[in-house]
Structure 1
Amino acid sequence: MIRILLIAILISAFSQSQAQKWVKPNTASTQYPKTVDRPKLVVGFVVDQMRWDYLYRFYDRYSKGGFKRLINEGFSAENTFIPYTPTQTAPGHASIYTGSVPALNGIIANSWYDPMVGRDMYCVEDKSQKTVGSTSNAGLMSPKNLQVNTITDELRIATNFQSKVISISMKDRGSILPGGHSANGAYWHDGMSGNWITSTHYMDKLPTWVNEYNALKEGDRFFSKDWNTLYPIETYLNSDSNDVVYEGRFKDESGSSFPHATKQYIGKNNEMIKSLPYGNTMTIDFAKLAVEKEGLGKDDITDFLAISCSSTDYIGHQFGPNSIEIEDTYLRLDRDLEELFNYLDKTVGKGNYLFFISADHGVAHAPEFLAKNKIPAERFTSRSLYRGLDTLMQQKFQLKKAIITVTNDQVIFDHEVIENSKLDFTTVKNTAINYLKKQKSVSNAIDLTNLQNTTLPTELKTRLANGYNPKLSGDIQIINHAAWYNSSSPSGIGHGGWYNYDSHIPLVFLGWNVKPGKTSKQYYMTDITATLATMLRIQMPNGCIGTPITEITQ
């Protein structure tokens, strides 16, 4: 009995000792956040065809509240690049918002030859849909071809689809791909009617506020202004001459110089608004209206507004990056940005929204501009490469129509024709590659199925691999010389290559939880979504291969 009593006393003493060592936390005083800390609104702002150097080239002429506010109050990743080729609008928007690359997301170009259907495929085409807001076919679109999801999709998932996502662009692909698969609304401009329209993928009828805006015919109001320079033309010292032969011309104009008469388009050519800086203004005006009417950023559930300004691309293609037209376009966009920031400060609250600006691609200089300044550059046409290859196939192998097309700097063979000929496909490809390497415009030609064994700089090999989708891409990749531009026109300019003028893009974050600063570390377009996911504390999109920009997220 005494032994039992002693054991009980020892157990009791041990228990009291342990109780003194372990103290139950006071859950009432423990600081657990009631909700995840996120901004009220995220605004993604993509400027189509914006070269990185535009941030600084026109810096002295920018207002304090536009691009200068971005640079001085935001965080800039100064060396941000596109990690794939070709550098085009659709892959750019897709990669920014998925954190993925064409090899994974399926958007390998603006359009491509699809061997499964035996024809060209437009990046966002979907003939199972119908146009909403117009009688045209401009709404037969959806994100169906995008094989992964987006940061906007992940935000919707993270909030049990309570977050609202609205995407806006003059271009269908500039709206649809950022909005992702589950956007509440994606709107783009219909050149036939002049309306902002959408697709039955999103809704069966336009909201009242969109119909009311369309009824205003704002495009005609902008056309009535004509287009002259914002400031005296003699102050545009960062640009080429006012009228040069390698700049494109508007219809019915005898030259490319200012002023540009636009009143002629009123009620006749709604598509032309895209080729004027007013297209950017109209896009941003419509986006501000969406914030108001859709109640974006009005509660504690984070919303997302994706804006893509497309007029910069149309104007850049026509006049080139050294034109007075481009300088004037960015000075006007600077004012539009200032108005957007002021509006967001007032409606959502300064510090309550997270803003980022980037670009889908850059642009080359006009070859003639470089040549007159003694820098090597020329024009060529892929059509001439196609004809030469076709002739070679007939003479060397007696093969007719062995090559379907040369597109996106890739050669696409008709595999069935070659298979039926009993020829060795590797021999045929190598013959074509050897021919291409001898052409004046070509720096190199690569068998895409044997890329890993090709001697190339690691960076270029990676970009080619990231752009190669085995179900959609061609057989041979053509790498053109730097500053050589594929064009059948004697004027205008474009993009698509891996070189820095096409692949070095701006990336600046501003607002919620962003401290001013810069980094010279190399980052990629795919890192934008990874950074957003980290800041918002949500899952990265399912195809994301990017890494967070730690200078921002830490």
Structure 2
Amino acid sequence: MKKFTLSFLLVASAIVSAFAQFTEDKPKLVVGIIVDQMKYDYISRYWDNFGEDGFKKLVDEGYFVRNGQYNYAPTVTGPGHASVYSGTSPAYHSIVNNHFYDREKGKSVYCVDDDRYTTVGADTKNGKKSPYRLAVTNLSDELKWASNFRSKVYTVSIKDRSAVLPAGHRADGAYWLDDKTGNWISSSFYMENLPEWIEKMNNAKKRPIDQYLKSTWELSLPADRYTASTEDSTAYESLFPGKSEPTFPYDIKKGVAADRVRAKSGRKYDIIKGTPYGNTVVTEMAINILDNEGLGQDNFTDLLGVSYSSTDYAGHAYGPQSMEVEDMYIKLDGEIATLIKSLDEKVGEGNYVIFLTADHAGAQNAGFMRDRMNFEAVNIKSKEDTKVIDAYLSEKFGEGKYVASNYSGQLYLDRNLIAEKKLDLEEVQAATAEAFMTMPQYAAAILGKDLERNEYTLGYKGLIYNGFNPRYSPDVYGVLKSHNVDYGKGGTTHFSPYRYDTHVPIMFYGWKIESGYTHAPHTITEIAPTICSFLNMNYPSGCYSDPIIIPLEDED
């Protein structure tokens, strides 16, 4: 009996030892960094102006996927964050756009709005959010399950959707900036009250964000160092509040005083989002989460999702050719260096893994394309196109407002009207496609019915197919010609299935990642299964992508 007991204990000890070794052979912390509207070529274009400890460290010491692509359209923030963390496309996770027409509700809805919940951290409505529209599990969810809920998951961004969608359904905290109070807020979906340390930050007499409102955005380097950009003032940029020209420096305090729109709505802190300080407050909050929540301090891998969104605001306002965007990335390079240094100090070098990508890239300014590239590009207005389509359908099927919603060619028909008139939906879709093609700004029009019954794999049809969800997607896709944008004359936007909107950086750094790069094609939906393979756990439920094969250091 004693021999049996001893043998049993030895075997049990060996099993426990082997299990401990297996479970410990993984990073203590995953840090997911998403840079909003980051084009792939920003790394090479701005390389000479970066420091040694930010983007250069990630490239030189990490693994750089140089041909990283979005494999669906439309390319916008909500679907981007959902896809990176779930490892699948809108066809499966159902976040088809930031805002989209809900046929059941008969109105446009926002991807993370949820009136069942309340704001935590401020007396505003900005926290009534949840991930309930995310129809699959994501990396954060799978991490929770794999650890029997002992892993911690936190996300932070100045945008609500950029915090909510990566956080998944069981996060310990998802935080975003309230543009009315300057507070960090959350939703009652996650918690009843903010942690005491966040309450203390929000209620402090001298908050950093209030100091930033009184600051000035100045160039990081002498103006002649910005060789990747145009001259400082061009016709392709929007104006900062209180400015008559889009030129440095930008006095934020004067901007607040001059901004009547934000003053009327009480959203004075919103102006911070369009300056580098929007990224700074995210870095500060991420480090505070590390400090106060003890991330990466045990054998249960934690996750910290960090989304930098001020880059998107700058791109929309000034365009990718501007000095403002270049300076935004020079300053972001410093933020990333600060975050890496903090991770080394608090978690330990080699104990964490970072992945960095973008939620989409961005188009060039249409005016810039016309004037300086001799390329025929136009700025369209969806409202004008809708009038053309409604008139065409009225002439064919009788008077009526057939278009329920249309943005940048994503058109939803009023199916109730079609039913009342006893029309065939596919016939009306086909006529709508005909109407699109009467307008020269469109390259193609694709019927929702065709996307339901056919499978497309190549070109923009393949990307639109991957983004098509029968319940939530449009009836007809009008595909704009290259560099035609549904946007104003200043700055730029993103939305299309073209390469300038889909090509993004994908980087892995830390833990056992060996330095290197690949030009092989990979998609952003391969990031989540790659991290899952590092952590020896299941892939998210809708993930049909394989992990990227990344060289790891030999343990011996």
What TM-score range do you get, normalising by the shorter chain? over 0.9
1:59-78 → structure 2 map (5 Å cutoff):
59-78=47-66
Does residue 251 (structure 1) correspond to residue 251 (structure 2)? The answer is no
Structure 2 counterpart of 1:425: 425
Cα drift, residue 408 of structure 1: 5.0
Closer, same or farther: CA 429–284 of 1 in aligned 2, 3 Å:
same
SS of residue in 2 equivalent to 1:49: coil
Count of residue pairs brought into register by the alignment? 529
Q: Is the CA contact 1:87–1:498 (under 8 Å) kept in the aligned structure 2?
A: yes
Structure 1 counterpart of 2:361: 362
Per-residue CA distance 1:147-202 (angstroms, 9 max, x = gap):
11110111111011000001000000000000111000000000001111001011
For 1:213 and 1:510, how far apart are their aligned partners in 2? 31
Matching residue within 40, 51, 61 for 1:52: 40
Per-residue CA distance 1:322-345 (angstroms, 9 max, x = gap):
100000000001111111111111
Structure 2 counterpart of 1:110: 98
1:121-520 → structure 2 map (5 Å cutoff):
121-214=109-202, 215=204, 216-264=206-254, 269-373=268-372, 374-407=374-407, 409-451=409-451, 458-487=458-487, 489-520=488-519
Per-residue CA distance 1:299-325 (angstroms, 9 max, x = gap):
121110000001000111000111000
Q: Is the CA contact 1:446–1:454 (under 8 Å) kept in the aligned structure 2?
A: no
Per-residue CA distance 1:458-506 (angstroms, 9 max, x = gap):
242321111111111111111111111112x222210000111110111
Cα drift, residue 454 of structure 1: 7.5
Partner amino acid for 1:149?
Answer: T
For 1:65 and 1:381, how far apart are their aligned partners in 2? 43
Closer, same or farther: CA 150–455 of 1 in aligned 2, 3 Å:
closer
RMSD: 1.9
Partner amino acid for 2:18?
Answer: Y
For 2:276 and 2:41, how far apart are their aligned partners in 1? 19
1:10-25 → structure 2 map (5 Å cutoff):
none
Does residue 81 (structure 1) correspond to residue 69 (structure 2)? The answer is yes
Q: Is the CA contact 1:220–1:266 (under 8 Å) kept in the aligned structure 2?
A: no
Per-residue CA distance 1:40-82 (angstroms, 9 max, x = gap):
1110000000011111111111111110000000001111111
Cα drift, residue 265 of structure 1: 5.5
Per-residue CA distance 1:387-406 (angstroms, 9 max, x = gap):
00111122222131122121
Q: Is the CA contact 1:229–1:258 (under 8 Å) kept in the aligned structure 2?
A: yes
Partner amino acid for 1:244?
Answer: T
Cα drift, residue 426 of structure 1: 2.9
Per-residue CA distance 1:121-164 (angstroms, 9 max, x = gap):
10000000000111110000011111111101111110110000
Cα drift, residue 435 of structure 1: 2.3
Q: Is the CA contact 2:237–2:491 (under 8 Å) kept in the aligned structure 1?
A: yes
Per-residue CA distance 1:387-435 (angstroms, 9 max, x = gap):
0011112222213112212125222111121222233333322222122
* Identity, % of aligned positions: 36
Q: Which runs of 5+ in 2 are unaligned?
A: 1-7, 258-262
Which structure's CA Rg is the greater one? 1
TM-score by length of 1: 0.92
Moved more, 370-379 or 239-248: 370-379
Moved more, 333-342 or 213-222: 213-222
For 1:266 and 1:243, how far apart are their aligned partners in 2? 21
Cα drift, residue 518 of structure 1: 0.5
SS of residue in 2 equivalent to 1:380: coil
Cα drift, residue 253 of structure 1: 1.1
Q: Is the CA contact 1:85–1:498 (under 8 Å) kept in the aligned structure 2?
A: yes
Q: Is the CA contact 1:109–1:408 (under 8 Å) kept in the aligned structure 2?
A: no
Closer, same or farther: CA 121–538 of 1 in aligned 2, 3 Å:
same
Q: Which runs of 5+ in 1 are unaligned?
A: 1-23
Cα drift, residue 33 of structure 1: 4.3
